[in-house]
Structure 1
Amino acid sequence: MKKKLLGIMMGATLAIILTACGGGNGDKNADEGASVNDAEAIVNKSCISCHGENLEGRNGPALDKIGATLDKEEILDVIENGRGAMPAGLIEGDEAVKVAEWLSEKK
């Protein structure tokens, strides 16, 4: 009985260790894809009410080609500090950086 219990405990411990150590495939492209999806999701949640579902502009200016006019840092500045009728801080931190990078690629 003790051997059986010890075997079950060792098996469970091994399973926990392998689960904690596994899963990292090091695929950089998968991370980049997740970042793009995250940025799109953030924009869909926070920006489309003013900038339109396709970023074509509505109450706010069109952003569908904003990367041709502003670079990532300039876009980030607008997101963080606002401009015109857009209030500051609608998106903050890492999310703001992801959105600025994503929008800067819209040309």
Structure 2
Amino acid sequence: MKKKLLTLLLGTSLVMGLAACGGGGNKDTGGGGKDTATGDEAAKIFDQKCSSCHGGDLKGGVGPNLTKVGSKYSKDEILDIIHNGRGGMPAGVITGDDADKVAEWLSAKK
């Protein structure tokens, strides 16, 4: 009986953990920003890599609210945060061109 309960708890924990990390679905990523293919790509990347902490609507959760992050930080500052992390955010969650696209998209959120 204990073995079945432990298996059930571990299985449930695994499913919940994967759900917290997942993207998918069409979520409203907030107003502002570019309405271009690059903006759409950046929104998809954000949805897959960042929304579990910052929320699909950019209003925060575990991570801070990003709805007006562009009024506080420039694209280069946002890119630096993405590359190096800050506070509870780990470094390198997004890399390469994807990081540049997301930084540009977020910098337009004012």
Same fold (TM over 0.5): yes
1:68 aligns with 2:90: no
Query: Which of 30, 55, 60 is 1:57 aligned to?
Result: 60
Q: Which has the larger radius of gyration?
A: 1
Structure 1, gaps ≥5 residues long: 1-31
Unaligned segments of structure 2, at least 5 residues: 1-34
- Determine which structure has greater relative contact order: mean sequence separation of CA pairs < 8 Å that are 6+ residues apart, divided by chain length: 2
User: C-alpha distance in 1, partners of 2:84/2:96?
Assistant: 12
Structure 1 residues 8-23: aligned runs within 5 Å: none
- Could you say which structure has the higher helix fraction? 1
% identity of equivalent residues:
55
Please name the residue that 1:44 is paired with. Answer: 47
Q: Which letter maps to 2:69?
A: I
Taking structure 2 as the reference length, the TM-score comes to 0.67
Task: Give the paired residue count.
Answer: 76
Choose from 97, 105, 109 the match for 1:106: 109
Could you tell me which residue of structure 1 aligns to residue 36 of structure 2? 33
> Which whole-Å CA distance do the structure 2 matches of 1:53 and 1:100 have between them?
16
Structure 2 distance, partners of 1:101, 1:77, is 12
Scaled by the length of structure 1, what TM-score is found? 0.69
CA distance in 1: counterparts of 2:53 and 2:82, whole angstroms: 13
SS at match of 1:50: helix
